[in-house]
Structure 1
Amino acid sequence: MQCQICNKSGMTGNNVSHSNRKTKTRWKANVHKQTLAIDGKPTRVKICSRCLRTMYKPPRGRKARARAAA
């Protein structure tokens, strides 16, 4: 599966043993099916856990602090 926000998908590489033998492996992205409110409508999306966590972060920076103080 692939994240519909950042297009993150799996990676490929090698498992390397102690004797330095290499075997192919695949790491999958941590993608979840989630219902999110997009433009006020509940929409079902496939989203990775990093994007899901980032959505709930408060805004940072000088402009965000100015808005919070006003």
Structure 2
Amino acid sequence: MSKRCAITGKGPMVGNNVSHANNRTKRRFMPNLRTVRVTLEDGTTRKIRVAASTLRTMKKQSK
């Protein structure tokens, strides 16, 4: 499975680990993915992988 949000399409980002001596090595910033059940219009449920930040935004907009 890919490390990508099913709704927003957020994926891994690339950056650097920076040590105290300012040495830089490459690293990847992974999205915080959660598996959630979603009910579709026809009544069936599916599991999708969604970023936690997306879930927070959806919860905020539903209020």
- Please report the TM-score for the alignment, with normalisation by the length of structure 1: 0.71
Per-residue deviation, 1:18: 1.7
**Structure 1: stretches of 5+ with no match in the other structure:** 61-70
Equivalent position amino acid for 1:16 in 2: V
User: Do residues 27 (structure 1) and 25 (structure 2) align?
Assistant: no
Per-residue deviation, 1:4: 0.6
- The alignment-based identity, stated in percent, is 35
**Structure 2: stretches of 5+ with no match in the other structure:** none
Moved over 6 A (4+): none
Matches within 5 A, 1:26-45: 26-39=28-41, 40-45=43-48
Larger gyration radius, structure 1 or structure 2: 1
Equivalent residue number for residue 15 of structure 1: 17
Aligned length: 60
- Please report the TM-score for the alignment, with normalisation by the length of structure 2: 0.78
